[in-house]
Structure 1
Amino acid sequence: MSEGDVKEETSCIPGYVCYGSDWDISSSISTPNNLSVVQCTNDKKTFCVRPANEDICSDLTVTFTSGECRASSFSFTESISVDFLNTSEIKQSKPTGLPAEITTTLPDLPKCKNLSVSNYTCSEKHNPNVTMKLSELEPFTDYNCTGLILQNNTSINKTTPSVHVRVDCDLTITYTKNDLTSTSTEFSWTTTSKNCQQELPNLHKLSYDCICDGQKPGKGMKPTRPDGGKCSFNNLKPFTDYTCRVQFKYKTYMSNSSDVKLKTNPGIPDPVNGLQLHVQEHNMIKVVWQKSNDFKGEQKKYKVRINKAGEKQQKTEILVSNHEFVFKDLSYSTTYEVEVTAYNGEHESIPKTGNISTFYNDKAVIGFRVFLIILTSVALLFVTYKFYIQKLRKSTNDVNDDMELEAIYENRQSPGLRHKEAH
């Protein structure tokens, strides 16, 4: 075998120095540092040598020996450029935040100077025709990125292996303010991120959905910033617990919700129904009503007020827990106005009112009648007594008159006659 029987092949295995011959040269190849020799898969007569990293950017000499005759040996010397770099040995760390950065570690090439990787180009996994710079990557999106290998800032037309990149920004929603009424809420939040805070204000495709139990999606207050916002709900029920939540969306990605628990303020209680007024014992008024359907607050009590009809003075007010009350010791034969409201500790319902009149004072009438009877009896006794006295005086006067007449008669007779009659 002579030197002319061996030819250099360039299309067998990329990154290898390959030689072909009609001779079986598998045992004739001698390499520095005992580099391994592999047979070309598609050409059984071609054998290849992979340069070591220390051979890159230098010359590689491969020696062929014909049989055992060292004198007939010959060598091929190849200039191993950086193109022989095995890119599979390049180590790349995926970015974990935004702005995205890929840290690249090249294999140790002691004879190569000023090698670097730059100008990463990325394309969306599901839209490969759209390319962008590494600094333009968006969160929650899958990309494939490759970097350009440079030597002395000049491309060697070789790229790094494709690396899959996806940055899921760990957004944290913190509720900062909650304004409540009895039927509405407006809450605010701020958004922070451990790995995307620098780019967060620029994520204009980031939007939010507000949801409360049983309610239609809330209306976001415009403008809603990427790093926070406000949301409002109306038509809520008073004094009711709600779980509201905020979900952020980025393009087709939707996060888990971040919940906030709230309770609406007390509202106006439902009014009482079925108000009934009854007079008892002539000057007592019993007030009865049906329970309120919904107090819309903490307490469940009633305020009962009474006042003489037509008077503007302050009404007597009683706070009760049951749904009836009796006003006692009222004025007789008087019309009263009664008012009942439901009370929850903060608000009163629309009042229900009614008028009713007490009866006459039956006890006074009975006493007066007794007094009249006693007075009549006393008068009758007095008249009877007067009549008796008069009659007694008349009898006494008649007796006295007879005695006086007799005395006069006796005095007018002659002494002799009186003496004779005496005998």
Structure 2
Amino acid sequence: MAGLGGLRVLLLLAGLVAMANCQENSTAIPDNTPADPENSSDQPKPTAVPGNPTDQSTTGPPPPLCNYSGKADKTGFLFTFEKVTEGNYSIKLTELSTGESNEETVSLSGTNATHRVQNLKPSTDYTVHISPSKYQKLTCGGNLKLKTNGINPNEIEELPTDSYQDICYETEWNISTAVFDASSKKYKFCITPKNTDLCTNFRTLSYPSLNLTKWIGFEYLNPDNITLEVPDKLPAEINWCNQNDLKCEGLGINFTCHGPDTRKYKLDELEPYTKYTCSGVLYNQTIAINKTVTKEVNITCGDIKLVVKDTTAENVSIHFKWEASSQQCPKFSHHENLSYICSCSAAKAGPSKERSCKVPDLDPFTKYNCEIQPRFNDKPIGKPTENRDLLTKPGVPDAVTIKTHTQLENNAFRVECSDLEKSKWRGPKVLYRATITPGSQNEENKSCSFKFQDLSYSTTYTVSIVAFNGEYYGKAGQVKIITSSHTVWVLLRVLVLLSFSVLTMVAVLHLIGWWRTRGNKTATEECIGLNSASDAPPARERLGQGASDEQQHTVDMDLDRAPRGPTVVQRGGQKAVGSAQLNIIDSVTPVSQVTHGPETQRRLGGSQQSNL
């Protein structure tokens, strides 16, 4: 029990001491005495804040005690804590204009402890709130309002540059758009001048207490910001379009160009439709600046305009005449390397440097799609003339080939030929014309088939067929045809021939009969003569039954052989009832010269005696 009583006494004493300290802090007066008497005229006076915590909570351990003051210092504030309970404290600064805030935690202990907050924005009002870290709801004497110092030129350092693209600065102040570098604990910001800022005092920084400017010379001229334009005309030019935006005088660009070869060209030497790479060196007055620009140049003179003045179509060719002009390049139409190619479908003519051409080797009466293409250095340029459908004049059609000829009657026949293809007519019309000679019969037809009739019989005709296209006749196809004789005349001729043949045969037979009769008579007379000479009676043979006395008996005798048999000849054309053959010697031989055989002599002798 004695122990518990002693403990109670100690706790009571501690409570009394704490109450006494609180009364002392609540009666403390803020210290407005400058921290540095020598600089009191330049430095802002610190603002003291009573240190009693404002929390009236009676539960838990007692809150820490804090008493501080603050003032503007360099690029921020300096806070001085006269009495503070050891521990961690939160310092929160909030901009009054924007409401932006930054907060940091510091460890404080003892009397007259200080802490600097730097890298704030210049000439900016802040609200300061300091509280123990464990008791965020407690405020050390309430919020404090402070304003940072203004910036001065000595606090900004310009950084060196080699590109002269940007102007960069470094400072401990938190400049807007600046980026904090943790390694150097400074803010860095850059400003890029425009071409319009050249040759001017460019304002790089503006604050209420500071206006920072810099002269922007030619070294800050950025070639990428130069706008160049190449007019499509000759002589060639390269214009600096945004040059007037600059405040500089006497500034220009001198160009040198390189073409397909290795030769260097001036702008007035450039040819159209040729690619060049032109490099320009900037100069001020006559002094070159170490800045260059590059521009590709290809002058096309717009599209050269061709106006066709005359078109003459022949049957196998088309002739053109035209005029060429260019508004952008007035002298280009007379350039020595300018030429033209004329084409009509697949047929071409040229290249021609004259303003005329003739497309040959065309087909007559054929529609062609024609155009004229300008060329420069043997390469097509611009656009050709508008396509024109032109028709060549008619030409000579192809020759006709006769296919068949057929006889319809003795004096009529049909002639047919192969029809020509459409492209072979070479003219507006399709007409076959047939002529037959001798005679004046002419026929025309759209198909190659002709009938000729009522012709003369047994006559040779020549048929000629030509193709006519309305302008020209083609080469004729010919055929010779012979008509037959008339049927009546043929029959008459046959009858005549038959009659003549019969008469001829009759005459021949009559002559043969007469000749035989005459021959027999002569032989009989010779035989009688012989019998008279030898006084021998005529030889007789027994005739068949019915023979009359008027019949003359003749014996076919052979001087060398015995007679074959009797032959009976009737006078007055009567038919013989027997037959005998007498071989008559064509040349008469004297009887005295004939040598007879014994039998013959006997017969001859008998015959002569009968005659006597």
Q: Specify if TM > 0.5.
A: yes
- Specify whether residues 173 and 181 from structure 1 end up closer, same or farther in structure 2 by C-alpha distance, changes over 3 A only: same
Q: Give 1:237's match in structure 2, choosing from 347, 358, 363.
A: 363
Cα contact 1:38–1:48 (8 A) shared by 2: no
Q: How does 1:187-266 map to 2 (within 5 A)?
A: 187-193=320-326, 196-201=328-333, 203-215=335-347, 218-220=348-350, 222=352, 224-225=353-354, 228-234=355-361, 236-251=362-377, 254=380, 258=385, 259-266=387-394
Q: Report the equivalent of 2:227.
A: 91
- Specify whether residues 25 and 279 from structure 1 end up closer, same or farther in structure 2 by C-alpha distance, changes over 3 A only: closer
Cα contact 1:337–1:354 (8 A) shared by 2: yes
Q: Report the equivalent of 2:428.
A: 298
Q: Report the equivalent of 2:250.
A: 115
Query: What is the alpha-carbon distance in structure 1 between the residues aligned to residue 219 and residue 413 of structure 2?
Result: 109
Q: Report the equivalent of 1:179.
A: 312
Cα contact 1:269–1:348 (8 A) shared by 2: yes
* Superposed CA offset, 1:349-398 (max 9, x none): 2112344454556679999xxxxxxxxxxxxxxxxxxxxxxxxxxxxxxx
Higher mean alpha-carbon deviation, 44-53 vs 78-87, is at 44-53
How far did 1:341 drift?
0.9
Cα contact 1:211–1:244 (8 A) shared by 2: yes
Q: Report the equivalent of 1:371.
A: none
Cα contact 2:365–2:427 (8 A) shared by 1: yes
* Superposed CA offset, 1:293-341 (max 9, x none): 53233322211112327xxxxx443221222223344455554433211
How far did 1:220 drift?
1.4
- Specify whether residues 77 and 174 from structure 1 end up closer, same or farther in structure 2 by C-alpha distance, changes over 3 A only: closer
How far did 1:50 drift?
5.8
Query: What is the alpha-carbon distance in structure 1 between the residues aligned to residue 313 and residue 187 of structure 2?
Result: 85
SS at match of 1:201: helix
- Specify whether residues 190 and 54 from structure 1 end up closer, same or farther in structure 2 by C-alpha distance, changes over 3 A only: closer
Q: How does 1:348-367 map to 2 (within 5 A)?
A: 348-358=473-483
Cα contact 1:275–1:290 (8 A) shared by 2: yes
Q: Report the equivalent of 2:449.
A: 324
- Specify whether residues 290 and 89 from structure 1 end up closer, same or farther in structure 2 by C-alpha distance, changes over 3 A only: closer
- Specify whether residues 165 and 328 from structure 1 end up closer, same or farther in structure 2 by C-alpha distance, changes over 3 A only: same
Query: What is the alpha-carbon distance in structure 2 between the residues aligned to residue 54 and residue 179 of structure 1?
Result: 63
Query: What is the alpha-carbon distance in structure 2 between the residues aligned to residue 53 and residue 271 of structure 1?
Result: 83
Q: Indicate whether 1:13 and 2:163 are aligned.
A: yes
Show structure 1 runs of 5+ residues with no match.
64-69, 310-314, 368-423
TM-score with structure 2 setting the length: 0.43
SS at match of 1:299: coil
Cα contact 1:170–1:193 (8 A) shared by 2: yes
Cα contact 1:37–1:50 (8 A) shared by 2: no
- AA aligned to 1:100 is A
Q: Give 1:347's match in structure 2, choosing from 456, 469, 472.
A: 472
SS at match of 1:162: strand
Q: Report the equivalent of 1:375.
A: none
Task: Indicate the RMSD between aligned Cα atoms, in angstroms.
Answer: 4.9
* Superposed CA offset, 1:228-284 (max 9, x none): 4424232x3333333344444445854565544333333222222236556655544
Cα contact 1:99–1:198 (8 A) shared by 2: no
Q: Report the equivalent of 2:397.
A: 269
Query: What is the alpha-carbon distance in structure 2 between the residues aligned to residue 62 and residue 244 of structure 1?
Result: 68
- AA aligned to 1:117 is G
- Specify whether residues 355 and 80 from structure 1 end up closer, same or farther in structure 2 by C-alpha distance, changes over 3 A only: closer
Cα contact 2:317–2:358 (8 A) shared by 1: no
Cα contact 2:178–2:187 (8 A) shared by 1: no
Query: What is the alpha-carbon distance in structure 1 between the residues aligned to residue 360 and residue 372 of structure 2?
Result: 13
How far did 1:100 drift?
3.1
Query: What is the alpha-carbon distance in structure 2 between the residues aligned to residue 157 and residue 11 of structure 1?
Result: 18
Q: Indicate whether 1:138 and 2:271 are aligned.
A: yes
SS at match of 1:287: strand
Show structure 2 runs of 5+ residues with no match.
1-152, 493-612
- Specify whether residues 130 and 25 from structure 1 end up closer, same or farther in structure 2 by C-alpha distance, changes over 3 A only: farther
Cα contact 1:119–1:133 (8 A) shared by 2: no
Query: What is the alpha-carbon distance in structure 1 between the residues aligned to residue 415 and residue 364 of structure 2?
Result: 29
How many residues are aligned here?
Answer: 332
The structure whose Rg is larger is: 2
Query: What is the alpha-carbon distance in structure 2 between the residues aligned to residue 62 and residue 354 of structure 1?
Result: 110
Query: What is the alpha-carbon distance in structure 2 between the residues aligned to residue 26 and residue 164 of structure 1?
Result: 48
Query: What is the alpha-carbon distance in structure 1 between the residues aligned to residue 220 and residue 374 of structure 2?
Result: 48
Q: Indicate whether 1:162 and 2:294 are aligned.
A: yes
- Specify whether residues 27 and 280 from structure 1 end up closer, same or farther in structure 2 by C-alpha distance, changes over 3 A only: same
How far did 1:95 drift?
2.3
Query: What is the alpha-carbon distance in structure 2 between the residues aligned to residue 290 and residue 140 of structure 1?
Result: 56
- AA aligned to 1:101 is E
TM-score with structure 1 setting the length: 0.58
